[in-house]
A and B are shown apart, each in its own frame.
Chain A
Amino acid sequence: MDANTKSRVGSAIRVERDTKRFGIARAAYTDPDILSAEMAGIFAKCWLYVGHSSELKDAGAFKTRTISGRPLIFLKDKQSQIRCFLNVCPHRGAQICRLREGSARSFSCIYHGWTFENTGRVMGVAEPETYPSDFSSNGRNDLVSVPRFEEYRGFWFVNFDAGAISLQDYLGGAREYIDVIVDQAEQGMEITGGVQEYSARANWKLLAENSVDILHVEALHPTYLDLVATNSKGQIKRGKMLGKCIDLGNGHSVVERQATYGRPIAQWISLWGDEAKVEIDAIFARLVKSYGEEKAIRMARYSRNLLIFPNLVINDIMSITVRTFQPKAADYMEVSVWSLAPKEEVGTPALSRRLGNFLEFLGPGGFATPDDIEALESCQRAAIAAPEAPWNDLSKGFDPSGKDDVGDTKDELPQRAFWRGWQSQLLQAGV
Chain B
Amino acid sequence: MPNLEQRSRAEIEEFLYHEAALLDEWRLVEWRKLFAEECKYLVPNMAGDPYASPDSTLYLIADDAHHLTERVKRLGKRTAHAEYPHSITQRSISNVRLVERTPDHLDVHCNFVTFRTSQGVTDTYFGKHEYRFVQADDALLIQQKRSILAMGALRPHGKLSIIV
Contact = CB atoms under 8 A, between A and B. Distances in A.
Interface string A173-206: 0000000000000000000111111111100000
Contacts of B6: none
A196 B79 contact: no
Contacts of B153: 197-199, 334
B33 to A, nearest CB: 20
Interface in A304-362: 332, 334, 338-339, 346-347, 349, 351-352, 355-356, 358-360
Interface in B35-52: 43-48, 52
Given A198-B154, A370-B160, A358 B58 contact: yes
B81 A194 contact: no
B97 interface: no
A51 interface: no
B47 A195 contact: yes
A147 interface: no
B68 to A, nearest CB: 12
Contact of B81 (A195, A220, A359): A220
Given A365-B60, A369-B159, A196 B45 contact: yes
Nearest to B163: A365
B158 A364 contact: yes
Interface stretch (A13-21, A118-126, A162-170, A371-379): A371-379
Contacts of A349: 55
A227 to B, nearest CB: 5
A381 B119 CA distance: 9
A112 B160 CA distance: 41
A339 B61 CA distance: 14
Contacts of A220: 81
Contact of A352 (B52, B55, B61): B55
Contacts of A358: 58
Given A222-B79, A367-B71, A198 B159 contact: yes
Nearest to B41: A365
Given A338-B58, A371-B81, A371-B82, A199 B157 contact: yes
A227 B70 contact: yes
A81 interface: no
A5 interface: no
A194 B57 contact: yes
A358 to B, nearest CB: 7
B46 to A, nearest CB: 7
Interface in A84-109: 100-101
A359 B79 contact: no
A196 B56 contact: no
A197 B155 contact: yes
A99 to B, nearest CB: 11
Contacts of A363: 58, 60
A350 B28 CA distance: 32
Contact of A100 (B47, B52, B79, B160): B47
B74 A360 contact: no
Contacts of A11: none
Contact of A360 (B47, B52, B67): B67
B160 A365 contact: yes
A223 interface: yes
A373 B67 contact: no
A100 B153 CA distance: 12
A230 interface: yes
Given A230-B70, A367-B71, A193 B159 contact: no
B127 interface: no
Interface string B128-162: 00000000000000000000000001111111110
A368 B88 CA distance: 21
A219 B14 CA distance: 41
B18 to A, nearest CB: 24
A359 B157 CA distance: 18
A226 interface: yes
A349 B54 CA distance: 11
B58 A193 contact: yes
A200 B158 contact: yes
B59 interface: yes
A373 B60 contact: no
Given A195-B47, A198-B158, A373 B82 contact: yes
**Smallest CB-CB A-B distances: 10 pairs:** A194-B58, A370-B82, A197-B153, A365-B61, A370-B161, A198-B154, A352-B55, A365-B160, A370-B159, A223-B74
Interface of A: 100-101, 192-201, 220, 222-223, 226-227, 230, 332, 334, 338-339, 346-347, 349, 351-352, 355-356, 358-360, 363-365, 367, 369-371, 373-375, 377-378, 381
12 contacts: A192-B58, A199-B156, A199-B158, A200-B158, A201-B156, A201-B158, A226-B70, A347-B56, A358-B58, A364-B60, A365-B160, A367-B70
Given A192-B56, A194-B52, A223-B77, 9 more contacts: A198-B157, A200-B158, A222-B79, A358-B58, A359-B60, A364-B60, A365-B61, A365-B160, A371-B81
